[in-house]
Amino acid sequence: MTSRKSASVRRDDILSATLDIAFKVGPTRVTTGMIADRLNLTQPAIYKHFSSKDDIWAAVATYLSQKINDNVTRNQSETGAPDTQVRSLVLDHLELVRDNPALPEIMLMRDAKGSHAIVQTSIQSSIGALRAALVANAAAAVKQGLFRADIDVNDIATLIFGIIQSLVLRMLVTRDPEMLISNGERLLDLQLSGFMKAGDMQ
């Protein structure tokens, strides 16, 4: 019944199935059996493509890290105003989470026996890069007189991340990834308006 697929396609199928299931039941409850079921495979077949479950999670982490890094790199290569760049970084990240709604929980997934340390480290360092980009753009915005100078640029980044976290939390409760986008833009503008020089507010 199962269409035999090439190894690389199967690997992608497995990662994709893992992400889907992780969102549905929570990353720690994903079993190799669930993955196999969804792909109409037998459970041991998974082990033809990944040597262990940890290996799957490592690949998932690599995949998600890459996506986060892509976002940062892409935006860095553009030459807009710093506040526009901030906007773009955040909205792109929200889209990434919408498309991979398991990301937040995977990021926090705890290791059995320390094996997931790599997973967290990988994603968290990409998130660190995103934060660094936000800080850099905030600093530029301050320098150009767009943002108030009396706020620490790290705190600006933290508040911006706060929007993301707040949206993510509500998404996890409502189970509706689309709301990230529909509410994100408005809240982001609102937050940014708090950083604007008084004269620029409106």
Partner DNA sequence: TATGAATGAGGCTTCATTCAT
Partner DNA sequence: CATGAATGAAGCCTCATTCAT
Point out which residues bind DNA (CB under 7 A).
2-7, 10, 29-33, 36, 40-49, 51-54
Q: Pick from DNA, its own copies, none: which does 72 bind, CB < 5 to 8 A by kind? A: none
Q: Pick from its own copies, DNA, none: which does 114 bind, CB < 5 to 8 A by kind? A: none
Q: Pick from DNA, its own copies, none: which does 124 bind, CB < 5 to 8 A by kind? A: its own copies
Please report, as ranges, the residues that interact with its own copies according to CB under 8 A.
25-26, 28-29, 105, 108-110, 112, 120, 124, 151, 155, 158-159, 161-170, 172-173, 183, 186-187, 190-191, 193-195, 198, 201
The nearer residue to DNA, 58 or 159, going by C-beta atoms, is 58
| Structure-block tokens of residue 40 | 């109409």
3-state secondary structure of 69: helix
Number of residues assigned to the chain: 202
How would DSSP label each residue in 21-74? Answer: HHHHH-GGG--HHHHHHHTT--GGGGGGT-SSHHHHHHHHHHHHHHHHHHHHHH
The nearer residue to its own copies, 81 or 169, going by C-beta atoms, is 169
What's the angle, vertex CA 104, arms to CA 152 and CA 126, rounded to 5?
A: 60
The nearer residue to its own copies, 74 or 200, going by C-beta atoms, is 200
Q: Pick from its own copies, DNA, none: which does 105 bind, CB < 5 to 8 A by kind? A: its own copies
| Structure-block tokens of residue 193 | 């308006």
Distance between CA atoms of residues 108 and 121, nearest Å:
10
